C-alpha cells in the first residue's frame, strides 16, 4: 500500500493517504449529509448537514490515524521498525519491519490499536453527553455519537481473531505462548483469517441477493481483501521460516559473468547470451564498479533493428534502483528490499565491487533445499484494520429520528486502520 498523498511525519513516522481513501470520504460525507443526518435531525439547512458530515469524516480519519499511531508507537518501543502509516480504502495500515520478539510484545502491538479505538469511542460518547447536557444542537451531539459508535465498531471488528486483523495478531500471540512455536501460531492465525474472509464474501453475496446491495458489496470487498492478505501471510510466514538465519553469501550465484556499459545489445547477445543462457548480466565499468543491471527481459525489449546501435548502459536498470546487499546480510532482509523491485534481482556488493547475484532461481532453489534447516521464523506479517460497514450510506429503515446515534454508526464505520506486515500490511479498520 503506497501513500500517494503525504501528510508529513508524526513522531518520525511518515504518514500518508492512498488516493483510495477519498472513496471512503465521499461515501461517508454523501451518506451522512444527504442520508443519515437529515433523517435523524430534520429541518436544518443542507449546509449544516454537509458541514457536520465533513467534520465527521475528518474526525473519523483522525481516529483511524490514532489507531495506527498506537500500533506504531508500541511496535517501536518493542524494537520493531515502523516504515510508515497509510490510510486507504478499507482502513489503515502501519507498515512494520521486523519481528516482535515475544508473544507479549506481539500481543501489546496488536492490542493497543483496538484499545485506542475503544478509548476514543468513550471520549466521543462523553462529548456527545456533554453537548446534550449543555443543550447543544442535536446534530452536533448526533455527530459525536456517530463517531463514538464508529470507533467502538472499529475496535470490535478488528478484534475478530482472524489475521491480518488485530484480533488475528492477538490469536497468534496467544497460540505462540501456548505452543511455543511462532510459525505454527502465525499459520493458524492466517488460516483463521482466510476462513473469516470467505465467510464475509458469502455473507456479502447473500446481502447482495437479498437487496442490501451496498452493504453486501462492502462486506464482500473486505472479505476478498482478507482472503488475499491471509493467504499471502501464510505463504510469507512459511518462506520466512525456511529462510530464517540464512546469509546472502550462502545463496548468491558467485562471480557472475559481467558486461561493459558501452557494449552493444547485439554484442552481448553474440558474446554471452547465446552461449551462457543466463538471465542477468551486471554491468561493470573500467574501474570494476557496478554500473547497472541488464536482464533478458530488457534485452528482448530492444527492437532487433536497433540492437547494433543500442548500448547496454541505455537499457540497464541504474545502480540506485537495483536492490543490493553485502555477503553477510540476512537473506530475509534482502528479500524485503527485492519485493517490488523492477527486475526481481539483486546484486551482492563488497566495497562497491560485484561479488554475486541473487536471482529468482537462486531463491527458489534455496527454498526447495532448506527444509532441513532449523526453523525459527517470523517476520511480522501484514495486518490490516478494516472498517466493518460501508460508511454513512443510508440503509433502509434503520434510522430512527430523534435517536442521536442513528445518524451514523449503524450505517457504517468506514475504513479500518491496520498495521502492515513487516513487510507490509497489518490491520484494516
Ligand atoms: Zn489495528
Q: Answer yes or no: is pLDDT of 139 > 60.
A: yes
- Predicted confidence at residue 372, as pLDDT, reads 56
Q: Which of 50-59, 332-341, 419-428 has the lowest mean pLDDT?
A: 419-428
Q: Which of 5-14, 98-107, 345-354, 380-389 has the lowest mean pLDDT?
A: 380-389
Q: Answer yes or no: is pLDDT of 92 > 50.
A: yes
Which position has the higher pLDDT, 394 or 82?
82
Mean pLDDT within 221-248? 86
Q: Answer yes or no: is pLDDT of 307 > 70.
A: yes
- 426: which residues sit within 8 A by CB, 6+ positions away? 71, 93, 94, 95, 96, 164, 169, 380, 381, 382, 383, 384, 385, 418, 419, 420
Structural domains of the chain, ranges and CATH numbers in brackets? 5-179+416-427 (no CATH), 248-379 (3.10.580.10)
- Predicted confidence at residue 1, as pLDDT, reads 60
* pLDDT tens per residue across span 23-48: 889 999 999 999 999 999 999 999 99
Other beta carbons less than 10 A from residue 393's beta carbon: 20
Describe the chain by its helix, strand, coil percentages, rounded to 5: 55, 15, 30
Percent of the chain with pLDDT over 90: 48
* pLDDT tens per residue across span 63-81: 999 999 999 999 999 988 8
CA 142 – ligand 1 centroid, Å:
26
CA 413 – ligand 1 centroid, Å:
14
Q: Is 22 helix (H, G, I), strand (E, B) or coil?
A: helix
CA 97 – ligand 1 centroid, Å:
16
CA 362 – ligand 1 centroid, Å:
36
CB 221 within 8 A of CB 181: no
**DSSP character string of 81-110:** EEEEEEEETTEEEEEEES--SSHHHHHHHH
CB 82 within 8 A of CB 94: yes
Mean pLDDT within 10-31? 90
* pLDDT tens per residue across span 182-232: 888 999 999 999 999 999 999 999 988 887 767 788 889 999 999 999 998
Report, as residue numbers or ranges, the catalytic residues: 68
Terminal-residue alpha carbon distance, the chain: 14
What letter would DSSP give residue 316? S
- Predicted confidence at residue 208, as pLDDT, reads 86
Closest to 40 measured CA to CA, from 398, 389, 391: 398
CA 417 – ligand 1 centroid, Å:
5
**Model confidence band, residue 384 (pLDDT cutoffs 50, 70, 90):** low
Which position has the higher pLDDT, 428 or 319?
319
Grid coordinates representing 336 are 524485503
Percent of the chain with pLDDT over 70: 85
Mean pLDDT within 396-414? 32
Other beta carbons less than 10 A from residue 43's beta carbon: 6
Mean pLDDT within 54-61? 96
* pLDDT tens per residue across span 267-291: 888 888 778 878 888 999 988 889 9
Partner residues linked to 311 by β-bridges: 264
CA 85 – ligand 1 centroid, Å:
11
- Predicted confidence at residue 127, as pLDDT, reads 97
Q: Answer yes or no: is pLDDT of 408 > 70.
A: no
Amino acid at each position: 500500500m503506497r501513500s500517494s498523498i503525504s501528510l508529513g511525519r508524526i513522531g518520525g513516522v511518515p504518514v500518508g493517504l492512498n488516493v483510495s481513501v477519498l472513496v471512503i470520504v465521499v461515501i461517508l460525507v454523501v451518506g451522512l449529509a444527504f442520508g443519515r443526518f437529515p433523517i435523524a435531525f430534520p429541518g436544518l439547512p443542507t449546509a449544516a448537514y454537509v458541514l457536520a458530515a465533513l467534520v465527521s469524516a475528518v474526525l473519523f480519519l483522525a481516529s483511524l490515524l490514532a489507531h495506527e499511531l498506537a500500533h506504531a508507537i508500541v511496535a517501536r518501543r518493542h524494537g520493531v521498525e515502523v516504515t510508515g502509516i497509510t490510510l486507504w480504502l478499507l482502513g489503515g495500515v502501519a507498515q512494520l519491519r521486523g519481528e516482535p520478539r515475544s508473544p507479549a510484545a506481539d500481543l501489546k502491538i496488536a492490542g493497543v490499536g483496538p484499545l485506542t479505538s475503544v478509548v476514543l469511542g468513550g471520549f466521543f460518547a462523553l462529548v456527545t453527553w456533554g453537548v446534550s447536557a449543555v443543550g447543544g444542537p442535536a446534530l452536533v451531539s448526533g455527530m459525536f455519537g456517530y463517531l463514538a459508535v464508529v470507533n467502538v465498531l472499529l475496535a470490535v471488528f478488528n478484534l475478530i481473531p482472524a489475521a491480518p486483523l488485530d484480533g488475528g495478531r492477538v490469536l497468534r500471540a496467544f497460540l505462540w505462548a501456548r505452543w511455543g512455536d511462532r510459525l505454527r501460531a502465525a499459520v493458524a492465525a492466517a488460516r483463521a483469517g482466510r476462513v473469516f474472509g470467505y465467510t464475509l464474501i458469502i455473507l456479502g453475496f447473500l446481502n447482495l441477493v437479498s437487496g442490501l446491495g451496498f452493504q453486501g458489496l462492502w462486506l464482500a470487498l473486505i472479505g476478498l481483501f482478507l482472503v488475499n492478505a491471509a493467504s499471502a501471510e501464510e505463504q510469507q510466514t512459511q518462506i520466512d521460516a525456511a529462510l530464517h538465519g540464512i546469509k546472502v553469501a550462502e545463496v548468491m550465484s558467485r562471480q557472475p559473468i559481467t558486461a561493459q556499459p558501452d557494449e552493444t545489445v547485439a554484442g552481448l547477445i553474440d558474446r554471452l547470451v547465446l552461449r551462457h543462457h543466463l538471465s542477468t548480466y551486471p554491468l561493470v565499468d573500467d574501474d570494476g564498479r557496478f554500473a547497472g543491471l541488464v536482464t533478458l527481459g530488457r534485452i528482448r525489449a530492444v527492437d532487433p533493428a536497433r540492437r547494433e546501435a543500442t548500448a547496454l548502459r541505455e537499457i540497464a536498470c541504474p545502480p540506485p534502483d537495483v536492490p543490493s546487499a553485502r555477503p553477510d546480510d540476512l537473506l530475509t532482509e534482502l528479500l524485503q528490499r527485492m519485493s517490488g523491485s523492477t527486475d526481481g534481482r539483486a546484486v551482492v556488493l563488497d566495497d562497491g565491487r560485484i561479488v554475486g547475484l541473487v536471482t529468482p532461481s537462486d531463491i527458489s532453489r534455496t527454498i526447495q533445499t532448506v527444509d532441513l534447516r532449523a526453523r525459527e521464523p517470523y517476520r511480522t506479517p501484514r495486518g490490516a484494520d478494516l472498517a466493518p460497514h460501508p460508511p454513512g450510506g443510508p440503509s433502509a429503515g434503520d434510522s430512527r429520528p430523534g435517536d442521536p446515534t442513528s445518524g451514523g454508526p449503524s450505517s457504517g464505520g468506514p475504513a479500518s486502520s491496520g498495521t502492515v506486515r513487516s513487510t507490509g500490511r497489518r490491520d484494516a479498520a
